[in-house]
């Protein structure tokens, strides 16, 4: 898959969870209908207060934490979903709460930095005002 | 179930918050957010109220011996009153500094306790008042105006 083709998946309305799954070889832990949810921006964080302070609506959170507080935090700020990095799987209680809250949960084997890098190369924006356009230019490493 | 009373234009809801109950911590803030959404309030206002309530709820769960969050929704504002019984805060000025925390490693492992809770509440609030008595507890009042927006 060329980097150009994957970049083109990010439109004005965002990118679908199924394309995120392709990009970071993730597994969906919640209901299959979550595949078609849209993501507008991405944030990588293990500190929930930072997630509260700096994310926007429809942000996908990549995190190394699997506590139930991650799902509670997602509910408070309307995150688009959560990706647990480095293959960490949350407990059944956490998945159950996410299902009840209709929140997509994913797990990838990539560590935080690498998973974030792959999504940034797709053209997905972060949450800061420092880089409002996201990475729309050429990705430094081509291919996936 | 929270106690919801609708008195004319004023709606009031109270949530009991248990100390050290990390499974339910955040439930009240999520319920409040859904209630505010049902009332059709501005999403930016809802977001600020939910963030303030959530950080306050976590503080009560982490630091106190238990408490309550009472929320009044008026035509002008959302008023969040938090009251706990607990050890209180010896130095409020210090507690308001970004990065200052007395939380344990266990709390940090859950993604909290980085000393951003009270600063985040302050940032979300149009008005913010905190009073604490060592050995008795802490009272927090947060006002979020419907008009102010982000």
Residue A60, pLDDT > 60, answer: yes
Residue B92: left if φ>0, alpha if ψ -120 to 50, beta else—which one?
Answer: alpha
Decide if A131 is inside a domain: no
What integer pLDDT is reported at residue B10 of this predicted model?
82
- Taking the C-alpha atoms of residue B24 and residue B20, their distance in angstroms, rounded to an integer, is 9
Q: Span B50-75, mean pLDDT? A: 97
A with B: how many residue pairs have Cβ under 8 Å apart? 71
Residue A66, pLDDT > 80, answer: yes
CATH number of the domain encompassing residue B48: 3.30.565.10
Decide if A130 is inside a domain: no
B100-136 pLDDT tens trace: 999 999 999 899 999 999 999 999 999 999 999 999 9
**Is A127 in contact with A41 (CB distance < 8 Å)?**
yes
For the entire predicted model, the pTM comes to 0.90
Decide if B56 is inside a domain: yes
A48, closest residue in chain B (CA to CA): B111
Residue B53, pLDDT > 80, answer: yes
Decide if A132 is inside a domain: no
Domain count across chain B: 1
Residue A142, pLDDT > 50, answer: no
Decide if B93 is inside a domain: yes
What integer pLDDT is reported at residue B150 of this predicted model?
47
- Taking the C-alpha atoms of residue A81 and residue A119, their distance in angstroms, rounded to an integer, is 14
CATH number of the domain encompassing residue A64: 3.40.1390.20
Decide if B150 is inside a domain: no
- Taking the C-alpha atoms of residue B69 and residue B98, their distance in angstroms, rounded to an integer, is 23
What integer pLDDT is reported at residue A128 of this predicted model?
85
- Taking the C-alpha atoms of residue B10 and residue B6, their distance in angstroms, rounded to an integer, is 6
Decide if A137 is inside a domain: no
A46, closest residue in chain B (CA to CA): B111
Residue A106, pLDDT > 80, answer: yes
CB contact under 8 A, B26 and A75: yes
Domain coverage including residue A12: 3-121
What integer pLDDT is reported at residue A13 of this predicted model?
83
Domain coverage including residue B75: 3-145
CB contact under 8 A, B55 and A70: no
Domain count across chain A: 1
HSE-CB of B42 using CA atoms within 13 angstroms: 14
Calculate the alpha carbon distances from B22 to A10, B25, B58, B107 in Å: 37, 5, 9, 9
- Taking the C-alpha atoms of residue B44 and residue A119, their distance in angstroms, rounded to an integer, is 27
Decide if B138 is inside a domain: yes
**Token couple for A72:** 């509670």
Look up the ipTM and state it. Answer: 0.90
Q: How far apart are the first and last CA of chain B?
A: 30
Decide if A14 is inside a domain: yes
Does A100 contact chain B (CB < 8 Å)? no
Of A140, A37, A5, A67, the C-alpha closest to B108 is A67
Residues of B in contact with A49 (CB under 8 A): 55, 111-112, 114, 116-117, 120
CB contact under 8 A, B111 and A73: yes
């Amino acid at each position: 898959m060329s980097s150009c083709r994957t970049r083109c998946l990010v439109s004005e309305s965002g990118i679908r969870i199924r394309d995120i799954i392709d990009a970071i070889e993730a597994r969906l832990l919640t209901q299959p209908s979550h595949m078609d949810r849209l993501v507008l921006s991405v944030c990588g964080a293990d500190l929930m207060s930072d997630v509260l302070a700096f994310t926007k609506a429809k942000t996908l959170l990549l995190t190394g934490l699997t506590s139930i507080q991650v799902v509670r935090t997602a509910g408070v700020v309307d995150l688009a979903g959560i990706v647990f990095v480095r293959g960490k799987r949350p407990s059944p209680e956490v998945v159950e709460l996410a299902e009840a809250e209709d929140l997509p949960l994913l797990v990838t084997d990539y560590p935080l930095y690498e998973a974030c890098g792959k999504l940034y190369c797709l053209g997905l924006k972060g949450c800061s005002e420092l880089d409002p356009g996201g990475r729309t230019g050429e990705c430094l490493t081509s291919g996936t | 179930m929270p106690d919801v009373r609708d008195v004319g234009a004023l709606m009031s809801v109270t949530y009991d918050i248990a100390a050290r109950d990390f499974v339910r911590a955040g439930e009240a803030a999520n319920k409040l957010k859904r209630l505010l959404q049902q009332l059709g309030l501005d999403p930016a206002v809802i977001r600020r109220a939910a963030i303030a309530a959530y950080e306050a709820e976590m503080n009560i769960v982490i630091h106190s011996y238990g408490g309550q969050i009472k929320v009044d929704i008026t035509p002008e504002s959302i008023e969040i009153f938090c009251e706990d019984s607990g050890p209180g805060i010896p130095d409020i000025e210090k507690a308001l500094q970004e990065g200052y925390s007395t939380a344990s490693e266990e709390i940090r492992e859950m993604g909290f306790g980085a000393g951003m809770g009270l600063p985040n509440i302050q940032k979300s609030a149009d008005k913010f008042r905190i009073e604490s008595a060592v050995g008795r507890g802490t009272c927090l009042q947060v006002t979020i105006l419907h008009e102010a927006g982000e």
